[in-house]
Amino acid sequence: MNNLHLDIHTTMHSAQGAMPLQLKTEFSAGSITALSGDSGAGKSTVLHMIAGLKAPEHGEIRYGDTVWFAGKTNIPARQRSVGLVFQDYALFPNMSVHEQLSYAQHQRSPKKVDALLAQMGLSQLAERKPAQLSGGQQQRVALARALAAEPQILLLDEALSALDRQLRVELQQHLLDWQRESGAIVIVVSHDLGEIFRLATRVLKLEHGQLIAEGSPAEVLLPQRASGRLQLTGTLLAIESAGVAALVTIVCGNEIIATLVNPDEAKCYSIGQMVAVTLSGASAAVSKI
């Protein structure tokens, strides 16, 4: 299994004008990494350079022992085993859902296409074309098409943003299952903190084209809290054993809260459940709504 090595330098053009983007890092085989940061930080530009849609001005992109970009070498996108799912779907307007997946799979295995349609809840829509689908349905097709190609690297640029929360959680689980089975490298751009915590084990935070923080989602994204008492509602994302206690992770708006609860209490909750969170100083208490 191969790692992806990046050492890239280029100039970004944003609303704030031209600014340098520099990133040197490595993505391990079988890993899921999230790119975090405000709009214009360079996240999508990084994905486009990995996919071969944009070339850095300087540096190197290497997958295993194969150099994709360095000096005069620039392997075209079609020769890189990369799947990229955009926020705007980019589906072929003249192809049905089934044809979209078959084309991506090069018609190697019709059974795999049918299985993927079923897994993604698209079987009933197989003969429809993009114009006959809702935005959320189109986004599911775009994701299924990327998985059908069996990429070694999957890049998700706000790929689940048009879906309601229940379907988003279901597809997040499908992505996790697919990634564990395939061993692919997955890189996620998302502004949804719940999605980052559910999918990624590592976060790279970019600001104005520079890497400013790296670590686990909790290390990079959990906010420092002031004292005081506040009650919020949120969605329970994860329940994990933590020795004599259980660690529960909850998304409240655009913030993530992680706290310890009694293991017996944790059995009363389920992933995706809405809960109340009471904050008091540095402590957080969870209760049912």
pLDDT of 68-96, one tens digit each? 999 999 999 999 999 999 877 789 999 99
Half-sphere exposure of 120 (CA within 13 A, CB side): 29
- The confidence band for 101, taking pLDDT boundaries of 50, 70 and 90, is very high
List pLDDT tens digits, range 143-154: 999 999 999 999
Which residue did the predictor score with more confidence, 225 or 173? 173
> What pLDDT was estimated at residue 8?
97
Q: What is the mean pLDDT of residues 38-45?
A: 91
pLDDT, mean of residues 114-137: 92
Q: List the chain domain ranges.
A: 4-220, 229-288
Please, what is the Cα angle at 136 between 182 and 110, to 5 degrees? 45
Average pLDDT over residues 114-126: 92
- Using the predicted structure, report yes or no on whether residue 100 has a pLDDT greater than 70: yes
Token pair listed for 272: 């995706």
Task: Please report the pLDDT score of residue 227 as a whole number.
Answer: 45
DSSP designation for 131: G
**Coil, helix or strand at residue 273:** coil
- pLDDT for the residue 133: 93
Please choose, from the candidates 222, 220, 254, the residue with its C-alpha nearest in 3D space to the C-alpha of residue 35: 220
The answer on pLDDT for 238 being more than 60 is yes
CA distance 197 to 199: 6
Fold for 4-220, please state it: Rossmann fold (3.40.50)
* Region 229-288: CATH code: 2.40.50.100
Summarised one tens digit per residue, pLDDT across range 49-65 is 999 999 999 999 999 99
Question: Residues of the chain with pLDDT > 90: what percent?
Answer: 52
Instruction: Give yes or no for residue 136 having a pLDDT over 60.
Output: yes
